[in-house]
Amino acid sequence: MRRAAQRESAVEQLAVIIIEPSQIVATILRRTLEPQMRCVVMRDAATFEATASTHAPIGLVLLDVMTLLPDASRRERPFWHLLMERPPLPVPVLCFSGTSSTPTDTPLFSLPAETLTIAAPDDFTNIGRTIMAYLATLRRSVQLREALAGTLRPSLRGNFAEFPAEALLRMADLGGYTGTLLARNGLATGIIAFAAGQVVHAIAGALIGKEAVYSINGWTNAPFAFFRGMDLGERSMHGKVDDLILEANRLGDEASDVSASLAPNAYLHRTRTFADQLAGKEYTMSELEALALVDQYHVVREVLAHARHGELLALKALRGLWQKGLIEVVAAEDVPPLTSPFATR
């Protein structure tokens, strides 16, 4: 009993490691997150490599995608690139970017999956809410922490490439299982909790609840582990597996339809008749977000990468805006030259 109490107390003190080169951004993040959680700011990846273990127990790593670290050949590379080449960290990693931290003309800085975006003051609050969702789940379940660290043996292990997420959802449904599915899509961590075969909690990147299930269902090459009997004690949703799969597949089909017309490198902008088309129509939150992202990033892949509501919903939103005559694809010869934010003005 005493050991269990000590373990629960340790979980309550989980630290959030913030790896952020900018002192200003780091300060804002820290002030946003404290006093709800213990934060440790590191200005570079080398400090994290050298001292992270001294701040245990760690609950989550918040990483700016522009953080660099020299590789074995002493060439500076994005730290998240190097993390992708290593075994997973024993904690969730949330990547984020600023409005001008990812030049669209520099492939080196393409964004990892489920990257969060800081484009407005409210985004700091949203990041804090997402982190709290992860930490709340970890505080309730020491078993989940052990699963992330690889010290807990799963009931089933595999990869979505051979055993798709949809098959796992149906397996839990038909078996009436209570348990937890843990998946890793690059640096993104996906968690789906079941109670008697029903999905009761899910989180993936900045997505919580049903949207997280839809996102995880679309992961095609992600290692997973299923822990039967692991009850996280979280209830962020209640959804029948059949309904969730039906909606996820519908969104996937819509995304495929849009992808066929909107290639990743396609350049978008508002139509000339935008003002005339805007009035008298209703818009979803995803469509309003997508419209703002089109104005800012233009390139389809960048719009999807920065969408807070996930790629599937963002593609659906782009299709809606396209059908409403608010955006259009620009011909290659009419695309203005892209300018890196690092260029000298």
Least confident among 41-50, 181-190, 233-242: 233-242
Bigger pLDDT: 201 or 289? 201
Q: Is residue 341 very low, low, confident or very high in pLDDT (cuts 50, 70, 90)?
A: very low
192-249: pLDDT as tens digits: 999 999 999 999 988 889 989 998 998 989 999 999 999 998 998 988 899 999 888 8
Distance from C-alpha of 254 to C-alpha of 258, rounded to nearest angstrom: 6
Q: What is the pTM of this model?
A: 0.75
Length of the chain: 345
Q: Is residue 284 very low, low, confident or very high in pLDDT (cuts 50, 70, 90)?
A: confident
Residue 306 has pLDDT above 90, yes or no: no
Distance from C-alpha of 34 to C-alpha of 23, rounded to nearest angstrom: 16
131-181: pLDDT as tens digits: 999 999 999 999 999 999 999 999 999 999 999 999 999 999 999 999 999
pLDDT (0 to 100) of residue 9: 44
Residue 21 has pLDDT above 60, yes or no: yes
In contact, 317 and 300? CB cutoff 8 Å: no
179-185/188-195 β-pairing: antiparallel
Distance from C-alpha of 160 to C-alpha of 38, rounded to nearest angstrom: 34
Q: Hey, how many other C-beta atoms are within 10 angstroms of the C-beta on 107?
A: 7
Q: Is 223 left (phi over 0), alpha (psi -120 to 50) or beta?
A: beta
Q: Which residue in the block uniquely carries the two structure tokens 């969408």?
A: 307
Q: What is the mean pLDDT of residues 20-37?
A: 90
Least confident among 1-15, 27-41, 117-131, 327-341: 1-15
Domains and CATH numbers, the chain: 2-140 (3.40.50.2300), 153-244 (no CATH), 262-334 (1.10.10)
Report the candidate in 265, 263, 303, 267 with the shortest Cα–Cα distance to residue 287: 303
83-129: pLDDT as tens digits: 999 999 999 999 988 754 444 433 334 567 778 878 778 888 888 98
Q: State the sign of the Cα–Cα–Cα–Cα dihedral 248, 211, 191, 81.
A: positive
38-42/15-19 β-pairing: parallel
Alpha-carbon separation of residue 331 from 27, 269, 305 (angstroms): 43, 11, 22
Q: Is residue 277 very low, low, confident or very high in pLDDT (cuts 50, 70, 90)?
A: low
pLDDT (0 to 100) of residue 259: 62
Q: Is residue 335 very low, low, confident or very high in pLDDT (cuts 50, 70, 90)?
A: low
301-316 burial code (b ≥16 CB/10 A, e <16): bbbbbbbbbbbbbbbb
Least confident among 20-24, 57-61, 119-123, 325-329: 119-123
Residue 117 CB partners (closer than 8 Å, separation 6+): 96, 97, 98, 99, 123, 306, 308
Q: What is the mean pLDDT of residues 8-30?
A: 82
Distance from C-alpha of 74 to C-alpha of 106, rounded to nearest angstrom: 20
